[in-house]
Amino acid sequence: MTRVCTICSHAERHQIDVALVHREPYRHIASRHDISTGALQRHSREHLPALLVKAYEAVERDNAEDLAGEVTKVKEDVHRLKEKAEEEGDIRAALLGCDKALKALELQAKVEQLIQTTPIFNIHLTTEWIELRTAILQALGPHSEARESFLRALTSVSDDSTS
Ligand SMILES: [Zn+2]
């Protein structure tokens, strides 16, 4: 039962997510962005990353350490997966690692946007990202197909983050 989520595909998704995280009443957000409250509730429940909500709560409590810990955990998982894939030459695990790395980084970018008052964050300029990308590309070295799809995925992420 997959239904297309009108919020996920909404051009103003980031603003909507931010409003949701700030716990603005559904009907306010709904009327501002011309969407239904039902879609908002569903999106909030099913698609709004829990980490994003946690991140905002951490910021509110002036306790960014929780958040940093969460993000570090995700990154450690990704690195573990990548190393395993490297050892075993497992292309599917490597791809899964890439996918997870991208999701983690996207999430981090969102969290950064939420924290900063000016929502300008260039994921490609962070040292951590550059290191991770290099590691992934190295791991994928012998698998040209995987490498290509990773690079394609990167392009789509950077398109998103500049919008
Ligand atoms: Zn959604």
CA distance 35 to 115: 26
pLDDT, residue 35, reads 94
Of 8, 73, 18, nearest in space to 46 by CA: 8
- Å from CA of 71 to ligand 1 middle: 22
- Å from CA of 128 to ligand 1 middle: 28
- Å from CA of 151 to ligand 1 middle: 25
Whether 39 and 99 share a structural domain: no
How many Å is the maximal CA-CA distance in the chain?
A: 53
> Over 90: is that where the pLDDT of 124 sits?
no
From 4-8, 25-29, 85-89, 90-94, the region with the lowest mean pLDDT: 90-94
What does pTM read for this prediction?
0.42
String of DSSP letters for 95-161? HHHHHHHHHHHHHHHHHHHHHSSS----GGG-HHHHHHHHHHHHHTTT-HHHHHHHHHHHHHHHHHH
- Å from CA of 10 to ligand 1 middle: 9
Which carries the bigger pLDDT value, residue 48 or residue 123?
A: 48
Whether 113 and 145 share a structural domain: yes
Rounded to the nearest 10 degrees, the angle between the axes of helix 50-60 and helix 64-88 is 140
Residue appearing with tokens 């909507």: 16
Whether 54 and 23 share a structural domain: no
* Structural domain includes residue 2: no
Q: What is the number of structural domains in the chain?
A: 2
CA distance 61 to 99: 31
> What residues are neighbours of ligand 1 (ion), with CB under 5 Å?
5, 7-8, 43, 47
Model confidence pLDDT, tens digit, residues 79-92:
776 777 777 777 67
Whether 131 and 111 share a structural domain: yes
- Å from CA of 145 to ligand 1 middle: 30
CA distance 163 to 28: 24
Whether 83 and 154 share a structural domain: yes
- Å from CA of 46 to ligand 1 middle: 7
Fill in the amino acid letter for 13.
Answer: R
- Å from CA of 7 to ligand 1 middle: 5
Rg (CA), the chain: 17
Domain range for 144: 50-162
Whether 65 and 134 share a structural domain: yes
pLDDT, residue 143, reads 72
Contacts of 63 (CB under 8 A, 6+ apart): none
